[in-house]
């Protein structure tokens, strides 16, 4: 294409809310046949809310529910206990300790837990020896208790396992599309917290547009397979690659490229940056982390997945390769 055509292309891009790092980067979109979509913050809003608290007390299971409405169809884990003062106190303690550790993390799951825990139990205590475990959770010491919040893999590092009732509750939450994590302290698994995210209202249409452009969509996430499957079904994606650790996302992109695919990737998180850089075309949500934006060729200013289709359409027009 001529420089003039490129200029037109990028000017139109700005109108559409698409910022292009170098016009030459768009040339690579011609051959793109696969588009990898990060789940949290890309396909979903990433604005999570705490929707479920399951407390395991020494003798029974206490499930208490948030008043929040999205939890209407929640699991009935164990279906034991009910509102005793004990259960209320156990719930408050769970929220206080888990919230305190999560308060030190920037992860969307963590922020939702810390914020909504604060709303319920008030100011959270401080945390010592905080550690972030990318893709699995967090740990730290709160009021002298060694607290873990995260996936089964994290707890397994401390040789902790949920019992059958908690396992069932985790599965039920995940099948419903909610992200569920375990809470443990002082060597015992104490309960579950689940958070819900929402598919962005435009994501389903965006996926249809990407397919119409001949692209094969793939949902990529560190979250549980069942959650990913549910979200994928909601937006019309067949292929899901789930339970991928942050540092493995780049390997997934490399793997697709090794299959001979030309890969675009859309992401928003710090944990997406390496994969965005590896992709033949990296597109970052403008609402996302600076690291993701810096690693990408294109910024979708509005944080709307439909802009990814706009960007590809625009470049194909710019390069005269409308298919
Ligand atoms: P994604 O790929 O969806 O952006 P991540 O790779 O960041 O997700 O995290 C994968 C999973 O690890 C989350 O869905 C959550 O279950 C768990 N996790 C990550 N960070 C935390 C945290 N701070 N607290 C609890 N769980 C976490
Ligand atoms: Mg994300």
pLDDT tens, position by position, 35-51: 999 999 999 998 899 99
- Residue 21: helix, strand or coil by DSSP? coil
Percentage of the residues of the chain whose pLDDT score is greater than 70: 87
- Assess whether 175 and 205 both reside in one domain: no
Which tens digit of pLDDT belongs to each residue from 183-198?
999 999 999 999 999 9
The residues with which 188 forms a beta bridge, in sequence order, are: 185
Which atom in ligand 1 lies closest to the alpha carbon of residue 105?
23
Residue (of 133, 58, 137) closest to 98 by Cα position: 137
CA–CA separation, 238 and 219 (whole Å): 8
Band of residue 10 on the pLDDT scale cut at 50, 70, 90: low
Domain assignment present for residue 323? The answer is no
Q: Are strands 281-285 and 263-267 parallel, antiparallel or unpaired?
A: parallel
Whether 28 has a pLDDT exceeding 80, the answer reads no
pLDDT in tens, 220-266: 999 999 999 999 999 999 999 999 999 999 999 999 999 999 999 99
pLDDT mean across residues, the chain: 88
Q: Is 168 a member of any domain?
A: yes
Last residue of a domain, one of 196, 230, 248: 196
- What does the alpha-carbon distance between residue 275 and residue 185 come to, in Å, rounded to a whole number? 34
* 19 CB within 6 A, ligand 1: no
* Residue 105 vs residue 8, higher pLDDT: 105
In the predicted structure, residue 3 carries a pLDDT above the cut 50? no
> pLDDT at position 85, please?
78
Identify the active-site residue in 33, 38, 86, 103. 38
User: Which pLDDT does position 23 carry in this prediction?
Assistant: 67
Q: Is 99 left (phi over 0), alpha (psi -120 to 50) or beta?
A: alpha
How distant, in Å, are the alpha carbons of 12, 50, 79, 135, 294 from that of 266?
20, 26, 41, 18, 13
Is pLDDT of 82 > 90? no
Given this model, what pLDDT does residue 12 score? Answer: 76
For the Cβ of 137 lying below 6 angstroms from any atom of ligand 1, the answer is yes
The range of the structural domain enclosing residue 170 comes to 49-196
Same domain, residue pair 144 and 251: no
User: What is the average per-residue pLDDT within 309-315?
Assistant: 89
Q: Tens digits of per-residue pLDDT, 83-98?
A: 577 889 999 999 999 9
| Alpha carbon separation from 120 to 64, 194, 227, 259 (Å, rounded) | 13, 15, 26, 49
Q: Is 282 within a domain?
A: yes
Q: Does 179 sit in the ligand 1 pocket, CB within 6 Å? A: yes
What is the reported pLDDT for 186? 96
**Strand ranges (DSSP E) for 118-274?**
128-133, 137-142, 145-150, 179-185, 188-196, 216-220, 239-241, 263-267
Mean of pLDDT values over 204-216: 97
Q: 197: Cβ below 6 Å to ligand 1?
A: no
CA angle 44-309-213, nearest 5°? 120
Band the pLDDT of 57: cuts 50, 70, 90: low
Model pTM? 0.83
Residues 74 and 188 in one domain: yes
Quote the pLDDT of residue 9: 59
What is d(CA 32, CA 110) in angstroms, rounded to the nearest whole number?
A: 35
Q: Which ligand has the nearest atom to the CA of 107?
A: 1
Per-residue model confidence (pLDDT) at position 146: 98
**Per the domain annotation, does 162 fall within a domain?**
yes
Tally of domains in the chain:
2
Residues 213 and 187 in one domain: no
**pLDDT beyond 50 at 65:** no
Catalytic residue list contains 186: no
Q: Are residues 220 and 264 in the same domain?
A: yes
The sign of the dihedral angle between the CA atoms of 210, 212, 216, 220 is positive
Ligand with the closest atom to the CA of 292? 2
The CATH number assigned to the domain holding 129 equals 3.40.1110.10
């Amino acid at each position: 294409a001529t420089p003039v055509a490129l200029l037109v292309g990028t000017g139109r891009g700005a109108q559409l809310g698409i910022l292009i790092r170098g016009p030459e980067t768009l040339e690579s979109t011609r051959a793109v046949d696969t588009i990898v979509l990060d789940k949290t913050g890309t396909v979903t809003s990433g604005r999570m809310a705490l929707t479920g608290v399951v407390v395991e007390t020494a003798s029974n299971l206490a499930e208490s529910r948030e008043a929040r409405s999205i939890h209407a169809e929640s699991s009935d884990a164990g279906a034991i206990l009910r509102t005793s003062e004990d259960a209320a106190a156990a719930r408050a303690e769970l929220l206080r300790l888990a919230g305190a550790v999560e308060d030190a993390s920037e992860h969307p799951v963590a922020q939702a837990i810390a914020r909504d825990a604060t709303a319920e139990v008030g100011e959270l205590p401080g945390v010592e020896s905080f550690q972030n475990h990318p893709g699995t959770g967090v740990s730290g010491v709160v009021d002298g208790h060694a607290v873990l919040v995260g996936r089964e893999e994290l707890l397994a590092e401390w040789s902790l396992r949920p019992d059958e009732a908690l396992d069932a509750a985790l599965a039920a939450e995940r099948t419903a599309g909610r992200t569920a994590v375990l809470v443990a302290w002082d060597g015992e698994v104490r309960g579950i917290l689940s958070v819900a995210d929402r598919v962005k209202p435009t994501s389903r249409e965006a996926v249809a547009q990407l397919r119409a452009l001949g692209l094969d969509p793939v949902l990529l996430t560190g979250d549980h397979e069942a959650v990913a499957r549910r979200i994928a079904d909601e937006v019309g994606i067949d292929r899901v690659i789930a339970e991928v650790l942050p540092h493995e996302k780049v390997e997934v992109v490399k793997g697709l490229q090794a299959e001979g695919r030309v890969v675009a990737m859309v992401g928003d998180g710090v944990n997406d940056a390496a994969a965005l850089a590896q992709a033949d075309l990296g597109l970052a949500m403008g609402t996302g982390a600076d690291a993701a934006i810096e690693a990408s060729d294109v910024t979708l200013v509005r944080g709307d997945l439909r802009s990814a289709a706009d960007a590809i359409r625009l470049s194909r027009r710019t390069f005269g390769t409308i298919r």
